[in-house]
Amino acid sequence: MAVRIRLTRVGATKQPSYRFVVSDSRNARDGRSLDTLGHYDPRQDPVRIEVDAEKATRWLSQGAEPSDTVARLFRRVGILPETR
């Protein structure tokens, strides 16, 4: 089972916010998830990113792969190291 950390969309029409979730890569974007790690609201100023760093590092150490967007956001909050 390939486990991914990705964003799932929540919120009203034209007012999106997102949750960081851990799910099987075969599930739909808004389908069943194994765990919720936090949330991301791009409509706030400044952008609000709240992540449980302990849970996130535990899932990453167990082999969960973050999506490209999640990896970028995790780098922004300091969970993943900067790569250059």
pLDDT digits (tens, 9 = 90+) for 18-76: 999 999 989 888 888 999 999 999 999 999 999 999 999 999 999 999 999 999 999 99
Q: Give the pLDDT of residue 28.
A: 86
Q: Give the pLDDT of residue 4.
A: 95
- Taking the mean position of all CA atoms in its chain, how far away is CA 6? 4
Number of domains in the chain: 1
Q: Give the pLDDT of residue 30.
A: 84
Is the full-model pTM beyond 0.85? yes
How far apart are the C-alpha atoms of 29 and 51, rounded to whole Å?
19
Strand (E) positions, the chain? 3-12, 15-24, 35-41, 48-51, 65-66
Structural domain span for residue 15: 3-77
Q: Give the pLDDT of residue 84.
A: 57
Which residue intervals of the chain are DSSP H helices? 53-61, 68-77
| Residue 13 belongs to some domain of the structure | yes
| Residue 17 belongs to some domain of the structure | yes
Other Cβ atoms closer than 10 A to 4: 18
Q: Give the pLDDT of residue 60.
A: 94
| Residue 82 belongs to some domain of the structure | no
| Residue 83 belongs to some domain of the structure | no
